[in-house]
Amino acid sequence: MENDQFKLPENAQRELKPGEEYEPILSKNKKYQEVTVWSVCIGLLMTILFSAAAAYLGLKVGQVFEAAIPIAIIAIGLTGLARKNDALSQNVIIQSIGGCSGGVVAGAIFTLPALYILQGKGYQIEINFWQVFIASLLGGILGILFLIPFRKYFVKEQHGKFPFPEATATTQVLVSGQKKGKDSLLLVISGLIGGLYDFIVSTFGWWSETLTTRMMGWGAALADKAKLMFKVNTGAAVLGLGYIIGLKYAFIICCGSMLVWFIIIPGMNLIWGDQVLDLMNKNYARHIGIGGIAMAGVISIIKSWGVIKSSVGLAANEFKGKKASVEAVDRTLQDLSMKTIVIGIVAVLIVTFLFFWFGVVHNVWHALIGILVVAVIAFLFTTVAANAIAIVGSNPVSGMTLMTLILASLVMVAAGLSGPSGMTATLIIGGVVCTALAVAGAFITDLKVGYWIGTTPKKQEIWKFVGVAVAAATVAGVIMILNKAYGFVGDGALVAPQANAMSAVIEPMMSGGSAPWLLYGIGAAIALILNFCKIPALPFALGMFIPIDLNVPLLIGGAISWFVSTRSKDQKLNDARYNRGTLIASGFIAGGALMGVVSAILKFCNVDAVAKTPWLASSPW
């Protein structure tokens, strides 16, 4: 088959008519080279690179970019240069393995850095590489196993009903890449530009990364008297991230931040003065946001309850052997057997129980409580994560994890475990659950891509476990390096907004105090109002945690995305411009984030080039 004959069928994204079947690009009656030494090695290399990049960017700005599209583009370029046969099928495996990076990173950095944050506050908490690695690994494996029984429901039974925005973009990239590989060159060039720019700023400090209104006389006076200040980060990676997020969600996130910095803080200063500013910013506004995130998770579960019941029914029928004979032999519909999945789930839960018992709480009763929390919540929220990705391409994992931490804290305190030990146990439980949900959400995208193209899901599922293991080891190492280089507490520390939120939730509950339920309630009420108004509550609440200087460039990038995709009356031209912009933005993200990791490693090795530019310390910026 010639490359220009690859094309998605006309019914790929619409609901099928009665009796109509979807026929993927790759014939289900033929066998293709999918899992090869090449595809596995390149996939694992992508996992390492993008896990490191995503961990750095996520801890810096609170947003974990999905690596599916950049990895797909790189795969196309590399397989083209190597002149590989069956390039399309191998590229799906490369993208699927490499895609482990986003899910595992989100699960780890949203929770486990909170241990370092609490440690920095004086709590006697021990954290090491193996705890982070094992928690991420077990959570990732559990997420894969819990999702597989729901694969057919989401990718086949609901064909055409869910838009799968990220899967759509990734599939289009992979398919169009069979015609020409020039797009990969654009990604490399933009990656070099973005990476060089961010590397110069973070390593040499030739100019300030953040510009503020304090650099002007009126701005400094306004900041001192009214506590009102505007800041913007100039990093290429953050700008690119905003382009891909789009104007809608970037605006909502920025609104959450503006509520804190332009209304709450100046308003409290006007009423009560300076003495309450730090308290207001670090506690009140943040806890209101936590309540909003948690309620957003509840709303997602309620909306997805029908999906949960239907998916459980499909899984139960398959476990009982009730499946069509054609599905038993159809290559494109083969999954790991339900027997293997059930045995795998039981085995992982047993290992997790032993990990909790001997590696975390050292108490069989507390370990049993922990594993029950993990099993119930991870299974219940798996469909929520997949449903969210299928509809809007965004996984509300933060809100669901916050709910997990609140529940786990209440249960652990009732069982007699509190203080630093309770904090450690609760956060590691949250880390396992968060990773499970993040990996499950990301994996449904990979499986939909494979369904549209016609690869074998069973092969994707098997090698996803390997990718999760590599990603878990990578992110554990990067977190330790970043903690050594920047830290998560104090001036110049990484923002880590989600991890700070997690620590803020459990610290009062595990220290003999009570949670600020009133503030959580206010946040929950805001989320309900936003939902009633059909405004996504989760990004708004998350924006309250992220400093405004990191949200403004998101809004700028989103505005550029909107302008590029709407300024012509020719929709095809708009689409072409937007897709080209996506490649450039992806390059900025990947290049900037990767060079950020390099800069962190240099600082970890005590190579501090910024010290050679003392003028920066006196800059009003």
Residue 14 maps to a domain: no
pLDDT the model gives residue 223:
63
pTM metric for this prediction: 0.73
pLDDT the model gives residue 93:
92
pLDDT tens per residue, range 578-602: 878 877 887 787 677 667 667 766 7
| Pairwise CA distance, residues 533 & 517, whole Å | 24
Enter the tokens of residue 211: 């510009």
Closest CA to 428 of 489, 344, 362: 362
Residue 15 maps to a domain: no
Residue 425 maps to a domain: yes
Which of 108-122, 317-331, 382-396 is modeled with the greatest confidence?
A: 108-122
Rounded to 5°, angle at Cα 75 from 72 and 76: 90
Confidence of residue 27 (pLDDT cuts 50, 70, 90): confident
The DSSP line for 257-268 is: HHIIIIIIHHHH
pLDDT tens per residue, range 522-532: 778 888 988 88
Residue 222 maps to a domain: no
Residue 224 maps to a domain: no
Residue 409 maps to a domain: yes
Closest CA to 283 of 24, 508, 537, 585: 508
| Pairwise CA distance, residues 479 & 58, whole Å | 11
- Flag whether pLDDT at 61 surpasses 60: yes
Please list, in sequence order, all residues whose beta carbon lies within 8 angstroms of the beta carbon of residue 337, skipping any fewer than 6 positions away.
none
As for how many domains the chain has, the answer is 1
pLDDT tens per residue, range 446-484: 999 888 888 889 999 999 999 999 999 999 998 888 888
Rounded to the nearest 10 degrees, the angle between the axes of helix 419-453 and helix 338-356 is 160
pLDDT the model gives residue 126:
79
123 against 318, higher pLDDT: 123
- Where does 62-181 have alpha helices with state H? 68-82, 87-98, 100-109, 113-120, 129-147, 151-152, 165-176
| Torsional sign, CA 107, 109, 115, 117 | negative
Residue 20 maps to a domain: no
Residue 219 maps to a domain: no
The amino acid occupying position 54 is: A
The residue segments making up the domain with residue 473 are 32-214+230-608
pLDDT the model gives residue 611:
46
